[in-house]
C-alpha cells in the first residue's frame, strides 16, 4: 500500500473534486434568481447552516498553519481554538435573529444591504462593502496560492505542472461550482467539506495520540522538559499576546462577513436554536487535528525521533507522510482542500455581491441582470485573486494580513453592536469602519511594533469599538425606519 501512497492520496483528492462538480451541477438547477445565488433563497435547514458556518470558519490555516503554530509556539494558538465557546455564541446572540429578520423584511441579499437598511446610510453600506472586498481579495489570494502549492506537491509524482497551472486547475473547479450553483452550491459543498474535515480531524487526532509514547501526557512531558513556558497557557508568545488573540478571536467572529451572512440564509430564526451547538461541537472536533499534529510533531522532533523541520508549516505534511496510512493521508489532504475551498467559495460569493450589488448601490445605481453579472463578477474576482496570489509578491502578504482582525474591527461595532443598539449612529459606523481599516493598514505598512506582541487586529478592534460607542453616545440620535426599529425590539 505504501508504494502506491501518492496514487491513493491523489485518488481521494480527485474523488473530492468530482463531488464538488456534482454538487455544482445539482445546485445549478436550483439557482434561478439573485436571491438564490446570494442567500440560497433563505431556505437552508439547521444542519446545513451549522456545518456551513463551521467549515467557512476553518480555512486551510486550521489544517496547515494551525498545527505549524502549535509546533512552533507550543500552546499559544490554543487561544484561537478555545475561544469558540464564546465567539460562536456571541455571533449567534447578536446576529442570528436580527440579520435573518432584517434580511427578510427588506429583501436584503448581502450584509451591506442590511447596514444600509439599519443606518439609512449608503455611505455606511459602501464602506462595509469596501472592507469586505479588500478582505476578500486578500484572504482569497493567500488561499489560492496555498491550494496551488499543495496540488503541485501532490501531482509531482505524476506530472510536472507549474504553480500557475495548478492554481488555474484549483480555481477553475471553484469557479465552476460557484458560478453555476452560487451560494447553494457553496453551502452544500461546505456540508461535504465539513463532513470530510470532521472525519479527518478525529482520525488524525487518534494517529497523533499513538505517534508519541505516553500519548498527550508524553508529549506534554517532552515539551515541558525542553521549555516549561511552551506548555503554559501562554506558550511562547507571552501573556498579553495570547490575551489579545482571545479578545480579537472571541469578539471578532461576529464581524466575519463570510460567516455571519449564513444567518440570512436560514429557513427560519427558530432553526438557529440548534445550529449553534452543532457549529460549536463541529469546530471543536476539527480543532483536534490542529492540536494533535502540532503537539505530536514538536514532541517527536524534541525527542530526536524525527528530523528538524525546515519550516513550522511542514508539521502537518510531515506528520501525514510519516505517521499515517495512505488512506488517512488521502482523507486529510481532501480535508485540506475542503477547508480551503469552503472558505474561498464563501468569499467569492460575498465579493461578487459587493461588486455587483453593494458598491453600485452606495452610489445610487442598480445593475440590470444582476444574476448574470454576479456570475461574471465571481469569475473576475477569482481571476484577480489568482493573479494576486501568484504574482502579487509582498502585496499578497499585506492583503492576507487584512483578514480576521480587519473584518472584526470594521464590522463588529457596526454590525454586531449596531443592529442591536438603537442609539448607534451612521456617522459612528462610518468612522469606525474607516479608522479600523486605516489602523490595520498602517500597522502593516509601517511595520509598527506592538508591545508584548499584541495582535494588530485587537488594537484596531479596541479603537473602533471605542470610537463607535463614544461617537454614538456623544452625537444626536439618528432616526431609524419604524419597521427596522420594530425588529430591533423583538
Partner 1 sequence: MKKAPLIILMCCLGIVAALVWAAITVETTASLAKPHALQSSMQTSGGMQRDLGIWAPGVVVGVLTLVAAAAAFSLGVKRTATRGIAVAAGLSLIAFTGMMLAQRNYAGAEIHAVSGWFTAPVNWLLFGLGIFPAAYVGVWVFGFRRWIFSPEDQAKFDSLLERSRSGENRKGGE
State which residue, 13 or 250, has the beta carbon closest to partner 1: 250
**By CB under 8 A, which span of 16-24, 35-43, 145-153, 268-276 interacts with partner 1?**
268-276
206: contact with partner 1 by CB under 8 A:
no
Q: What is the largest CA-CA distance in the chain?
A: 72
**What is the three-state SS of 358-373?**
HHHHHCCCCCCCHHHH
| Residues 221, 228: Cα–Cα separation, whole Å | 9
Site for partner 1 in 91-110 (CB under 8 A): 92-95, 97-98, 101, 104-105
236: contact with partner 1 by CB under 8 A:
yes
Please report, for residues 31, 111, 261, the alpha-carbon distance to residue 415 in angstroms, rounded to integers and kept in the order given.
28, 8, 11
309: contact with partner 1 by CB under 8 A:
yes
If binding means CB under 8 A, how many residues of this protein chain bind partner 1?
90
**By CB under 8 A, which span of 176-184, 256-264, 304-312, 371-379 interacts with partner 1?**
304-312
State which residue, 369 or 423, has the beta carbon closest to partner 1: 423
| Residues 242, 229: Cα–Cα separation, whole Å | 13
**By CB under 8 A, which span of 128-136, 139-147, 165-173, 248-256 interacts with partner 1?**
248-256
Among 169, 302, 367, 380, binds partner 1 (CB under 8 A): 302
230: contact with partner 1 by CB under 8 A:
yes
Among 71, 205, 373, 388, binds partner 1 (CB under 8 A): 71
Among 39, 51, 58, 73, binds partner 1 (CB under 8 A): 73
| Residues 331, 338: Cα–Cα separation, whole Å | 10
Please report, for residues 72, 79, 125, the alpha-carbon distance to residue 35 in angstroms, rounded to integers and kept in the order given.
44, 37, 19
What residues contact 404, with CB distance under 8 A and at least 6 apart? 248, 249, 252, 256, 457
The answer to whether the CB of 257 falls within 8 A of the CB of 350 is yes
**By CB under 8 A, which span of 127-135, 385-393, 394-402, 465-473 interacts with partner 1?**
465-473
C-alpha closest to that of 204 among 337, 334, 332, 13: 332
Query: Three cell numbers at 32?
Result: 434561478
232: contact with partner 1 by CB under 8 A:
yes
| Residues 412, 301: Cα–Cα separation, whole Å | 41
Among 153, 156, 172, 270, binds partner 1 (CB under 8 A): 270
**By CB under 8 A, which span of 47-55, 83-91, 131-139, 360-368 interacts with partner 1?**
83-91
| Residues 244, 250: Cα–Cα separation, whole Å | 10
Start-to-end Cα distance in the chain: 60
Least separation in angstroms between residue 94's CB and partner 1 is 5
Least separation in angstroms between residue 295's CB and partner 1 is 9
State which residue, 45 or 369, has the beta carbon closest to partner 1: 45
Query: Three cell numbers at 250?
Result: 472571541
3-state helix, strand, coil in the chain (%, to 5): 85, 0, 15
**By CB under 8 A, which span of 58-66, 258-266, 296-304, 326-334 interacts with partner 1?**
296-304
Q: How far is Cα of residue 373 from the mean position of the Cα atoms in its chain?
A: 25
Burial class from Cβ neighbours inside 10 Å (0-12, 13-18, 19+) for residue 105 reads middle
Site for partner 1 in 207-226 (CB under 8 A): 215-217, 220-221, 224, 226
473: contact with partner 1 by CB under 8 A:
yes
Beta-ladder partners of 44: 266
Among 6, 43, 285, 314, binds partner 1 (CB under 8 A): 314
| Residues 274, 50: Cα–Cα separation, whole Å | 8
C-alpha closest to that of 324 among 223, 222, 214, 202: 202
Query: Three cell numbers at 268?
Result: 427560519
Least separation in angstroms between residue 190's CB and partner 1 is 21
Site for partner 1 in 154-193 (CB under 8 A): none
Size (the chain), residues: 490
**By CB under 8 A, which span of 237-245, 348-356, 373-381, 437-445 interacts with partner 1?**
237-245
Query: Three cell numbers at 375?
Result: 456570475
74: contact with partner 1 by CB under 8 A:
yes
Least separation in angstroms between residue 251's CB and partner 1 is 6
State which residue, 2 or 489, has the beta carbon closest to partner 1: 489
The answer to whether the CB of 270 falls within 8 A of the CB of 46 is no
Burial class from Cβ neighbours inside 10 Å (0-12, 13-18, 19+) for residue 271 reads buried
| Residues 262, 255: Cα–Cα separation, whole Å | 12
Least separation in angstroms between residue 2's CB and partner 1 is 26
Query: Three cell numbers at 140?
Result: 482569497
Site for partner 1 in 361-400 (CB under 8 A): none
State which residue, 391 or 421, has the beta carbon closest to partner 1: 421
Site for partner 1 in 5-64 (CB under 8 A): none
Site for partner 1 in 424-463 (CB under 8 A): 424, 451-454, 462
State which residue, 167 or 459, has the beta carbon closest to partner 1: 459
Site for partner 1 in 130-159 (CB under 8 A): none
State which residue, 84 or 129, has the beta carbon closest to partner 1: 84
Amino acid at each position: 500500500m505504501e508504494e502506491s501512497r501518492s496514487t491513493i492520496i491523489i485518488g481521494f483528492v480527485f474523488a473530492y473534486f468530482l463531488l464538488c462538480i456534482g454538487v455544482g451541477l445539482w445546485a445549478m438547477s436550483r439557482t434561478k434568481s439573485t436571491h438564490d445565488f446570494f442567500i440560497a433563497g433563505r431556505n437552508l435547514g439547521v444542519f446545513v447552516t451549522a456545518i456551513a458556518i463551521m467549515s467557512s470558519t476553518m480555512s486551510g490555516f486550521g489544517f496547515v498553519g494551525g498545527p505549524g503554530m502549535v509546533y512552533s509556539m507550543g500552546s499559544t494558538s490554543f487561544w484561537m481554538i478555545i475561544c469558540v465557546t464564546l465567539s460562536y455564541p456571541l455571533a449567534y446572540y447578536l446576529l442570528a435573529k436580527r440579520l435573518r429578520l432584517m434580511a427578510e423584511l427588506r429583501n436584503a441579499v448581502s450584509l451591506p444591504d442590511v447596514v444600509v437598511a439599519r443606518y439609512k446610510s449608503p455611505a455606511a453600506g459602501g464602506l462595509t462593502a469596501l472592507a469586505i472586498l479588500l478582505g476578500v481579495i486578500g484572504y482569497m489570494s493567500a488561499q489560492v496560492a496555498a491550494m496551488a502549492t499543495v496540488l503541485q506537491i501532490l501531482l509531482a509524482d505524476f506530472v510536472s505542472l507549474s504553480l500557475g497551472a495548478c492554481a488555474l486547475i484549483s480555481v477553475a473547479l471553484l469557479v465552476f461550482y460557484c458560478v453555476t450553483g452560487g451560494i447553494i452550491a457553496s453551502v452544500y459543498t461546505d456540508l461535504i467539506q465539513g463532513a470530510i474535515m470532521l472525519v479527518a480531524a478525529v482520525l488524525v487526532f487518534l494517529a497523533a495520540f499513538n505517534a508519541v509514547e505516553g500519548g498527550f501526557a508524553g508529549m506534554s512531558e517532552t515539551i515541558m522538559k525542553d521549555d516549561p513556558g511552551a506548555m503554559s497557557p501562554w506558550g511562547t508568545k507571552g501573556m498579553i499576546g495570547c490575551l489579545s488573540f482571545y479578545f480579537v478571536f472571541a469578539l471578532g467572529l461576529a464581524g466575519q462577513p463570510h460567516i455571519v451572512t449564513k444567518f440570512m440564509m436560514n429557513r427560519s430564526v427558530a432553526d438557529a436554536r440548534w445550529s449553534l451547538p452543532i457549529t460549536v461541537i463541529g469546530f471543536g472536533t476539527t480543532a483536534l487535528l490542529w492540536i494533535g499534529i502540532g503537539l505530536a510533531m514538536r514532541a517527536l522532533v524534541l525527542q530526536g525521533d524525527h528530523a528538524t523541520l525546515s519550516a513550522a508549516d511542514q508539521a502537518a505534511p510531515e506528520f501525514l507522510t510519516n505517521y499515517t496510512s495512505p488512506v488517512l493521508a488521502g482523507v486529510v489532504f481532501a480535508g485540506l482542500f475542503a477547508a480551503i475551498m469552503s472558505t474561498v467559495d464563501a468569499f467569492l460569493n460575498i465579493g461578487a455581491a459587493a461588486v455587483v450589488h453593494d458598491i453600485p448601490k452606495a452610489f445610487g445605481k442598480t445593475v440590470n441582470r444582476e444574476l448574470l453579472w454576479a456570475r461574471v463578477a465571481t469569475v473576475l474576482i477569482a481571476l484577480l485573486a489568482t493573479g494576486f496570489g501568484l504574482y502579487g509578491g509582498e502585496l499578497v502578504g499585506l492583503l492576507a494580513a487584512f483578514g480576521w482582525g480587519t473584518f472584526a474591527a470594521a464590522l463588529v461595532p457596526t454590525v454586531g453592536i449596531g443592529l442591536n443598539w438603537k442609539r448607534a449612529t451612521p456617522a459612528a459606523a462610518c468612522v469606525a469602519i474607516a479608522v479600523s481599516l486605516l489602523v490595520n493598514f498602517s500597522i502593516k505598512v509601517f511595520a509598527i511594533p506592538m508591545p508584548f506582541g499584541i495582535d494588530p487586529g485587537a488594537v484596531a478592534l479596541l479603537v473602533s469599538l471605542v470610537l463607535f460607542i463614544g461617537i454614538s453616545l456623544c452625537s444626536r440620535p439618528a432616526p431609524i425606519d419604524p419597521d427596522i426599529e420594530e425588529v430591533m425590539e423583538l
